[in-house]
C-alpha cells in the first residue's frame, strides 16, 4: 500500500448516518419492475445529488426498448466526474429496479426500517445499498484526494431484473459503455463485501406448451386435456431430468454451493381457463397448457445440449403417449461467462482492497444468476468488469430483505481504496 488510506476511511465512517439516509431515500422510491415504476424519480434523485458533487449528469431514456412507454419510461442516469488530468475511467453501475414485494414480510417493504444495524426493505440488498455505498465511496475519495487522475462515472440503470434491455444493454448499444469512455467497471450487486464476482452461470428460459382439444367438461373423453399432457411432462421432469441435473457439478466457483449443480426452476404454469376472471368457470377441457422453465447451466455444458435434454424428453413423450403434442419456444438465453481474468486491473485492485480493509484474502466467486455484466462484456466489449458490493446474496428477492450498515461501510472503503489504486499516477 503506497499511501495512507486512513483519512479517506475516516471520511467514509463519518458519513455513516448520511449513507443510511441515502439508502433509505432510495428504497422509499418504489421502483418495482415490472412494470418499471418511478424510474425517472429515482434516477433524478441520484442525478441531483451527484450534480451537487460536481458530476456532469445525463439522462438517457431507452426509447423503444421492451416495456418503455410514456407512463413507464426506461430512464437511465449516467453521471461523470473528470479530474482534468488524463487517465482511465472507473465506472460504478447499479440497477435501480427492484422485484415485486411478494408475501411474508414483517417489515413495511418501502419504509426502509433501521433495526439492529440493518436496513430492511425491498431493494436494500439488491441493490440500492450497493448504489449508496458506491456514491459515498466516490464522493469521499474525490473530496480527500485532489490528485486523482482520469475520470469517475456512476450510472443508475433500469430493468436489470428483466434482462437489462431498457438499461445497460441500451446504453452499451449507444456507446456509453465502450473502450473510448470506460476502462474499469464495478457493479455493486450483493455478492457479499468480501467477494469478487468474476462471472455467472448460463441461463435458458423457454416456454413449453402442450396442446389438446376443447370439449365439454362433463364429457372429457370427447376432448383431449392439455393439462394432463403437461402433467406427463412434469412427471418426466421429476423422474428423469431433475436427478440428471443434480449430478452435474461445475468447477466454476459458484456461490451458494447449491448453485454448483445445474438447476431448473418452473417459473410458471398456466392451463385451461384464465385466472383474471373471478366468476364461476365454464365447463371445458383445456386445449392449452403453458409452462415457463428457467434453466441455469454450467460452463461445462453447451447451450445446444441443454436445450436437447428437454427436447428429447418431450420427443420421447410424443412417441410414448397418445395424442401428445407440444411446442417449445426459446424466450431468452445467455451463455455462462468468466470473462474477467484474475490478474485484470479491477480484479487485482478490489481483491487487494478487500484484504486491506477486512484483513482476509478475497474470495473469487461466480454468480448463480446473470446480471448486467453480460451486456458490458458482449455489447460494450469491456472485459475489465466485476461485480462487487455489500449485501448477502441469499437475501436478494426474499421477504424481509435487508442490508447490514457495517457491510456497506466496509464495501465503501474497499471501493474507495480500489478506485484510488486505479486512478493514481504512482500505480
Stretches 61-69, 99-107, 124-132, 207-215: which one binds Zn ion (CB under 5 A)?
A: 124-132
Give the cell for residue 125.
Answer: 440488498
Q: How far is the CB of 62 from Zn ion (least distance, A)?
A: 18
Q: How far is the CB of 332 from Zn ion (least distance, A)?
A: 17
What lies within 8 Å, CB to CB, of 48 at 6+ separation is 57
Closest CA to 12 of 390, 360, 365: 390
CB of 265 to Zn ion, least distance (A): 17
Under 8 Å between Cβ of 228 and 323: no
Cis omega (within 30 of 0) for bond into 245: no
Cα–Cα distance measured from residue 373 to residue 383, given in angstroms and rounded to the nearest whole number: 9
State the CB neighbour count (10 A cutoff) for residue 415.
32
- Compute how many other C-beta atoms are within 10 angstroms of the C-beta atom of residue 399: 15
Nearer to Zn ion, 127 or 299 (CB): 127
DSSP string spanning 33-101?
A: TTTTTTHHHHHHHHHHHHHHTT-EEEEEE-TTSTT--SSS--EEEEEEEE-SS---EEEEEEE--B---
Q: How far is the CB of 240 from Zn ion (least distance, A)?
A: 33
With contact defined as beta carbons under 8 Å apart, do 77 and 176 qualify?
no
Q: Which stretch binds Zn ion (CB under 5 A): 77-85, 122-130, 135-143, 335-343?
A: 122-130
Q: How far is the CB of 407 from Zn ion (least distance, A)?
A: 16
Of residues 139 and 189, the one with the C-beta less far from Zn ion: 189
Residues 373 to 392 in contact with Zn ion, rule: CB under 5 A: none
Strand partners, 184: 90
Residue nearest Zn ion, CB atom distance: 126
The C-alpha atoms of residue 80 and residue 153 are separated, in whole angstroms, by: 4
Which of these segments, 119-127, 360-368, 381-389, 397-405, binds Zn ion (CB under 5 A)? 119-127
- Which x/- pattern over 26-55 shows residues binding Zn ion (rule: CB under 5 A)? ------------------------------
The rounded distance, in Å, linking the Cα atoms of 275 and 347 is 48
Q: Which stretch binds Zn ion (CB under 5 A): 49-57, 106-114, 118-126, 218-226?
A: 118-126
Q: Which C-beta is closer to Zn ion: that of 123 or that of 271?
A: 123
Closest CA to 259 of 248, 269, 267: 248
Q: Could you tell me the three cell numbers for 213?
A: 382439444
**Residue 311 CB neighbour total at 10 angstroms:** 14
Cβ closer to Zn ion: 153 or 189? 189
Residue closer to Zn ion, measured from CB, 11 or 200: 200
Q: Whole-number minimum distance, CB 167 to Zn ion, in Å? A: 11
Site string for Zn ion, 178-197 (x = CB under 5 A): -----------x--------
How far apart CA 427 and CA 409 sit, in angstroms, is 25
Return the residue of 127, 347, 404, 405 that touches Zn ion, per CB under 5 A: 127
Residue 141 or residue 191: which is nearer to Zn ion going by CB?
191
**Residue with Cβ nearer Zn ion (122 or 295):** 122
> Quick one: 27 or 127, whose CB is closer to Zn ion?
127
CB-based contacts of 145-149 (< 8 A; 24+ apart in sequence): 145/8, 145/420, 147/424, 147/425, 148/83, 148/85, 148/87, 148/420, 148/423, 148/424, 149/83, 149/85, 149/86, 149/87, 149/88, 149/423, 149/424, 149/425
* Smallest separation (angstroms) from Zn ion to the CB of 31: 12
Stretch near Zn ion under the rule CB under 5 A, chosen from 2-10, 125-133, 249-257, 355-363: 125-133
Closest distance of CB 164 from Zn ion, Å: 10
| Number of residues engaging Zn ion in binding (CB under 5 A) | 3
Structural contact between residues 405 and 127, judged by C-beta atoms closer than 8 angstroms: no
CB nearer Zn ion, residue 87 or residue 167? 167
Does residue number 264 form part of the binding site for Zn ion (CB under 5 A)? no
In the complex, what is the shortest distance from the CB of residue 36 to Zn ion, in angstroms, rounded to a whole number? 15
CA proximity to 271, closest of 283, 287, 289? 289
Residue number with CB closer to Zn ion (126 or 194): 126
Binding flag, residue 126, Zn ion (CB under 5 A): yes
**Residue 78 CB neighbour total at 10 angstroms:** 25
Beta carbon of residue 295, minimum distance to Zn ion (angstroms, whole number): 20
**Considering the complex, what minimum distance in angstroms separates the CB of residue 160 from Zn ion?**
6
Binding site for Zn ion (CB under 5 A): 126-127, 189
Amino acid at each position: 500500500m503506497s499511501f495512507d488510506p486512513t483519512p479517506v476511511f475516516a471520511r467514509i465512517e463519518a458519513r455513516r448516518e448520511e449513507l443510511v439516509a441515502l439508502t433509505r431515500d432510495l428504497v422509499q422510491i418504489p421502483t418495482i419492475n415490472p412494470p418499471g415504476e418511478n424510474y425517472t424519480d429515482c434516477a433524478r434523485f441520484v442525478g441531483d445529488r451527484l450534480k451537487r458533487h460536481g458530476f456532469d449528469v445525463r439522462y438517457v431514456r431507452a426509447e423503444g426498448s421492451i416495456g418503455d412507454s410514456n407512463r413507464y419510461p426506461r430512464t437511465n442516469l449516467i453521471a461523470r466526474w473528470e479530474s482534468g488530468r488524463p487517465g482511465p475511467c472507473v465506472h460504478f453501475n447499479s440497477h435501480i429496479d427492484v422485484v415485486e414485494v411478494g408475501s411474508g414480510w414483517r417489515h413495511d417493504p418501502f419504509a426502509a426500517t433501521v433495526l439492529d444495524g440493518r436496513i430492511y426493505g425491498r431493494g436494500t440488498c439488491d441493490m440500492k445499498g450497493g448504489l449508496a455505498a458506491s456514491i459515498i465511496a466516490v464522493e469521499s475519495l474525490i473530496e480527500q484526494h485532489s490528485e486523482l487522475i482520469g475520470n469517475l462515472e456512476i450510472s443508475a440503470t433500469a430493468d436489470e431484473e428483466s434482462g437489462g434491455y431498457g438499461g445497460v444493454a441500451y446504453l452499451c448499444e449507444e456507446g456509453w459503455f465502450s473502450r473510448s469512455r470506460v476502462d474499469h467497471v464495478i457493479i455493486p450487486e450483493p455478492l457479499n463485501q468480501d467477494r469478487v464476482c468474476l462471472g455467472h452461470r448460463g441461463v435458458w428460459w423457454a416456454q413449453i406448451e402442450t396442446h389438446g382439444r376443447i370439449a365439454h367438461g362433463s364429457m372429457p373423453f370427447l376432448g383431449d386435456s392439455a393439462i394432463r399432457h403437461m402433467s406427463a411432462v412434469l412427471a418426466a421432469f421429476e423422474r428423469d431430468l431433475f436427478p440428471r441435473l443434480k449430478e452435474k457439478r461445475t468447477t466454476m466457483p459458484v456461490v451458494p454451493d447449491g448453485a454448483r449443480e445445474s438447476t431448473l426452476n418452473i417459473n410458471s404454469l398456466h392451463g385451461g381457463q384464465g385466472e383474471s376472471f373471478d366468476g364461476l368457470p365454464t365447463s371445458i377441457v383445456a386445449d392449452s397448457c403453458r409452462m415457463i422453465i428457467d434453466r441455469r447451466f454450467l460452463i461445462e455444458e453447451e447451450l445446444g445440449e441443454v436445450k436437447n435434454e428437454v427436447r428429447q424428453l418431450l420427443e420421447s413423450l410424443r412417441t410414448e403417449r397418445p395424442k401428445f403434442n407440444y411446442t417449445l419456444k426459446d424466450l431468452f438465453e445467455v451463455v455462462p461467462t468468466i470473462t474477467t481474468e484474475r490478474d485484470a486491473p479491477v480484479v487485482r485492485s478490489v481483491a487487494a482492497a478487500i484484504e486491506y480493509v477486512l484483513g482476509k484474502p478475497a474470495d473469487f466467486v461466480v454468480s448463480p444468476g446473470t446480471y448486467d455484466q453480460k451486456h458490458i462484456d458482449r455489447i460494450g466489449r469491456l472485459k475489465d468488469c466485476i461485480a462487487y458490493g455489500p449485501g448477502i446474496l441469499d437475501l436478494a428477492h426474499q421477504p424481509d430483505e435487508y442490508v447490514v450498515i457495517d457491510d456497506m461501510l466496509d464495501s465503501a472503503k474497499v471501493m474507495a481504496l480500489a478506485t484510488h489504486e486505479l486512478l493514481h499516477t504512482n500505480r
